[in-house]
Amino acid sequence: MFRILFHSPEIPGNTGNAIRLAAITGAELHLVEPLGFSLEDSKLRRAGLDYHDLAVLHVHANLQDAWDALKPERVYAFTSDGDTTHTDIEYRAGDVLMFGRESVGLSDEVKKDPHITARVRIPMLPSLRSLNLANSASIAVYEAWRQHGFAGAQL
């Protein structure tokens, strides 16, 4: 239903948690290289538990390859300097929810990519730097899924 895109993730545990998130919500997870770890990393496997085979996961050599595969209509880039909050968007099936590296987020170059529909932020208390990557993806996916009545879920 929704597609999560991690651009150059660095921490295996976050991507493992996102694999689990994708499996339990029916989202797809797309990773753009370079990755800061191997997909065989034990921390990634442990964080994803036994959900690896249940998740739809794609790895792309670069961002252009991701765009070619995704053919996105709408891309929401989650960033601390976003113009709108994540709850102000009316999400549609197929939307891409994009997140950057744990250490620096999305680069200015990526934020200006013409595929990006809007830069989005998740509210936080002032003076704090950022949320954890996997937590941010969870917040975004669950808001989008909530707007669709948790389609396909057992309620």
CA distance 101 to 4: 13
Which element (helix H / strand E) includes 23?
helix 12-25
| DSSP-derived 3-state class of residue 101 | strand
Decide if 2 contacts 78 (C-beta within 8 A).
no
Decide if 111 contacts 77 (C-beta within 8 A).
yes
- Tell me if 48 is assigned to a ligand binding site: no
- Tell me if 136 is assigned to a ligand binding site: no
CA distance 63 to 114: 12
Q: List the one residue out of 96, 104, 85 whose CA is nearest residue 36.
A: 104
- Tell me if 130 is assigned to a ligand binding site: yes
CA distance 76 to 137: 11
CA atoms within 13 A on the CB side of 54: 15
Which residues make up each annotated binding site? 100, 122, 130
Task: Return binding residues for S-adenosyl-L-methionine.
Answer: 100, 122, 130
